[in-house]
Amino acid sequence: MRTAVYPGSFDPVTFGHLDIIERSSKMVDRLIVGVLDNGLKNPLFSVEERVTMLEEVTSHLPNVTVTSFHGLLVDFARQCGAGLVVRGLRAITDFEYELQMSQTNRIMCPQLDTIFLTTDLRYAYLSSHTVREVGRFGGDLSAFVPPVIVEQVLKKFGHTDLIEGKQELEDKDEQD
């Protein structure tokens, strides 16, 4: 059985992340999305919230599981029985960092390979940071994340009025 891990902070998960998850899930028997619990960062969402959101938006993919981890990626991959790490690339600047990390991981765990997938061009600019910034100011997130994530981000920033307003418009459209 070919098992891969796709690690990240996913704070929050974006359409770019989902593009990589869906495509890589077709390449392996089992894909484990690993949500990094990084004590050095101050995330918008807790690890548990990020896992729950990812489980919801990947529920249509039967060979994908979501779990959290902390520590070294090579240790997490070993625990999962994974021989592959999946990494998404948006730009050449991503490649420099990711190449260095994959080489380091390969030194620490020679049986662990990394595959790089370039994200769909529609999402090449997109990052979780962008989503958080737009959400902070109550901007339209619908081009960046699934509706359930839009709602979670807006709630986190206290924009419940935008959620309620959107729901009222949807209800009105259904009545017409």
Helix, strand, coil content of the chain in percent (nearest 5): 50, 20, 35
Dist. CA 14–CA 134, nearest whole Å: 13
How many whole angstroms separate alpha carbon 52 and alpha carbon 32? 14
**164: buried, middle or exposed (CB in 10 Å: 19+, 13-18, 0-12)?**
exposed
Active-site positions?
17, 41, 90, 128
165: phi then psi, degrees, rounded to nearest 5: -65, -40
pLDDT attached to residue 176: 57
Q: What is the pTM of this model?
A: 0.90
pLDDT for residue 169: 45
Rounded Cα–Cα distance for residues 172 and 174 (Å): 5
pLDDT by residue (tens digit) across 12-39?
Answer: 999 999 999 999 999 999 999 999 998 7
Placement of tokens 């979501």 in the chain: 66
Per-residue pLDDT tens over the stretch 134-154: 999 999 999 999 999 999 999
